[in-house]
Amino acid sequence: MGILLCVQLYYILFVYGRLARYKVQSYQDSTNFPPVSVIICAHNEQDNLKEFLPAILEQDYPEYEVIVVDDCSTDDTKWILQDFAREYKHLRIVDIKEHVQLKHNKKFALTLGIKAAQHERSILTDADCQPQSKHWLKEMSGAFIEGKEIVLGYSPYFKTNTFLSKLIRFETSHTAMSYLSYALKGNAYMGVGRNLAYTKSLFFRGKGFNAHMHIKSGDDDLFINHNATPTNVNIAIHPDAHMYSTAKNTWKAYYKQKARHSGASLLYKRKHKRMLATQLITAILFYTMLAVVLVLYPVCWQYVVGAYLLRLMSQLIVFGKIYRKLAVKDLLIWLPVLDILYYFYICTNGLFNRHKKQISW
């Protein structure tokens, strides 16, 4: 149990501690705002486009284009985009037609969007996402400081009062805490496509999604995993850079979502699989050993309580600073419950579904 505790404290204090100590920067005052391309892939997103696309089209940015790739939608997406295009001249539409002999996925649609982009900097998001402010583009684009080809943003979910919402927001912030911390260590291993940016030249130099086109997921995390270097990644987590999205509202839908996303990690670099597996397995074993020792050796309850409280207090100190940066400070009081659920529900769900065939877009 002592070894497990030490490993967990290493991750909390020395990995996540990087993000806790990070001073959040704003890039709104930068004088370097070259033209950028915002790329959104949409498949039957008529309602989301109506609600969220105007906030993308009305950013406070000198010059930019918004490319929406309509991937074989069967609803009114096409007509809604045409209506928007008449009002917003910087909106461009890429229309993909269904073909009986051509089976494609989001990676194909995203590739077409990047190819159609007129500018070097590509900033990606989804049709169901809403930027926190009109300065989202400035924050993301401004983070392309000298030598940086990738910008990792943060995409929280809208807050609701359900327990499922708390769990989803906790999982999302925990994932962000991990990939942002490792990026600060010069070891970036993933990003989230709801708020992500990279250069067009990097995309084609790295041969796009060719290495993992055979799986549906991974258009965001696998691309970063294969193309990030110790020096070409920056993060943008100023509050104005946040990109909000609507979370799943049923346990079944959330389970399916996590199952769909889990397969991509099989293709991570070995060093990344080892470091993530170590963190996950030691956390699960830590909780398991606490229970085992308490049941088999109840006279040792002081050691069990002491080990648990030491880890929890370390989390509260480090996570408290991070949660304020990630706009989830209300979850800190729920940490003891959500942390256990995170490992025993979400992570085991991912492990059990890693090899399942993915069928959804």
141 half-sphere exposure, CB direction, 13 A CA radius: 27
111 half-sphere exposure, CB direction, 13 A CA radius: 15
What is the total residue count of the chain? Answer: 361
324 half-sphere exposure, CB direction, 13 A CA radius: 10
Q: Is the pTM of this model over 0.85?
A: yes
The pLDDT profile of the chain, 361 residues, written as one tens digit per residue, is 789 999 999 999 999 999 999 999 999 988 789 999 999 999 999 999 999 999 999 999 999 999 999 998 999 999 999 999 999 999 999 999 876 445 568 889 999 999 999 999 999 999 999 999 999 999 999 999 989 999 999 999 999 999 999 999 999 999 999 999 999 999 999 999 999 999 999 999 998 888 787 777 778 899 999 999 999 999 999 999 999 998 888 888 887 776 666 667 778 899 999 999 999 999 999 999 999 999 988 888 899 999 999 999 999 999 999 999 999 999 999 999 999 998 887 666 666 655 555 545 5
Taking a C-beta distance cutoff of 8 angstroms, is the pair 18, 90 a contact?
Answer: no
**Burial class for 148, CB neighbours closer than 10 Å (0-12, 13-18, 19+):** middle
Distance CA 355, CA 47 (A): 32
> Under DSSP, is residue 334 helix (H, G, I), strand (E, B) or coil?
helix
Q: For residues 117-135, b (16+ Cβ closer than 10 Å) or e, as one string?
A: bebebbbbbbbbbbbbbeb
